Amino acid sequence: DHLEQRIADWIGVLPTNLTVTAGSSEALEMVFEAYVDEGTNVLVLSPSYSLYEVFAAKCGARLIGFPFDSSLNVDVKSLIDAIVREQPRLIVLANPNQPTGTLLCSVELGKIANAALDAGAILLIDEAYWLFTPESALNLITDYPNVIVTRTFSKALGLAGLRLGYCAGPAERIAEVEKFRGVT
C-alpha cells in the first residue's frame, strides 16, 4: 500500500487509480485477461511490441495489425475507421511505439479514445518509454472511462531486475484488472 501511495503521488493520481505489478508485462497481461475473450478482436499497431501477440493468442483473440504509413506515422483517421469497422474489444498502442519510435500526441490519443469508447472498446496505452517523451497519455484516464495506461520502471529508470511496473486508469477499470492478478 505504501508503494502504491508513493507511485500515485509521484504521477499525480489517487491510489485507487493504480495497481503495482511485476513489471509492465504483468500489467499488460492482466488487462488482456480482464477484457479479451475467445474470438474477440484486438487491434494493435504493426509492428509493435511482440508480447501483444502472445497475450492475444493466450486469450484466443483475433489480433488485427494496423500498419504505419511509409514515414512510420499513424494515420489517425484510418485507425479510427478501423476501430469502427473491426469493433475490437481492446486497442493496444505502445506510445511511443517500439520498434518505430512513433509518438502519438495527446490530441490524437483523445480522438482514438473517443472512437474506442463509441465502439465499446478499452484503449490500452503502453507507456514503457514515457519518460523519453515530451508528454504522456496519463491525463486521459480522468476524461475517458475506457483508457488504461501501463508503465515500467525498467527503461528510463534502469530498474529492469526489480520487475516493477504499474497500471493506471479509472478506479472501476483498475478494480476489474486486479481480479486477474496471478491468473495463468
| Other CB atoms within 10 A of residue 87 CB | 13
**Beta 18-21 vs 41-46: how paired, if at all?**
unpaired
Q: What is the pLDDT of residue 172?
A: 97
Q: What is the pLDDT of residue 10?
A: 85
DSSP string, 46-101: ES--THHHHHHHHHT-EEEEEE--TTS---HHHHHHHHHHH--SEEEEESS-TTT-
Spatial contact of 83 and 91, defined as CB atoms under 8 Å apart = yes
Rg of the Cα atoms in the chain: 15
Nearest-angstrom CA–CA distance, 162 and 146 = 29
Please report, for residues 9, 41, 83, 87, the alpha-carbon distance to residue 44 in angstroms, rounded to integers and kept in the order given.
31, 10, 10, 13
Q: What is the pLDDT of residue 116?
A: 98
Q: What is the pLDDT of residue 29?
A: 95
| Other CB atoms within 10 A of residue 102 CB | 19
Nearest-angstrom CA–CA distance, 66 and 58 = 20
Q: What is the pLDDT of residue 3?
A: 80
Q: What is the pLDDT of residue 154?
A: 65
Q: What is the pLDDT of residue 155?
A: 58
Please report, for residues 65, 72, 75, 112, 138, the alpha-carbon distance to residue 69 in angstroms, rounded to integers and kept in the order given.
13, 5, 7, 17, 26
Phi, psi (degrees; rounded to nearest 5) at 158? 65, 35
In this prediction, the residues of the chain whose per-residue pLDDT falls under 70 are 130-132, 154-163, 183-184
Q: What is the pLDDT of residue 82?
A: 98
Q: What is the pLDDT of residue 174?
A: 97
Helix, strand or coil, per DSSP, at residue 132: helix
Q: What is the pLDDT of residue 124?
A: 98
Give the tens place of pLDDT for each residue, 146-181: 999 999 876 555 655 566 789 999 999 999 999 998
Helix, strand or coil, per DSSP, at residue 26: helix
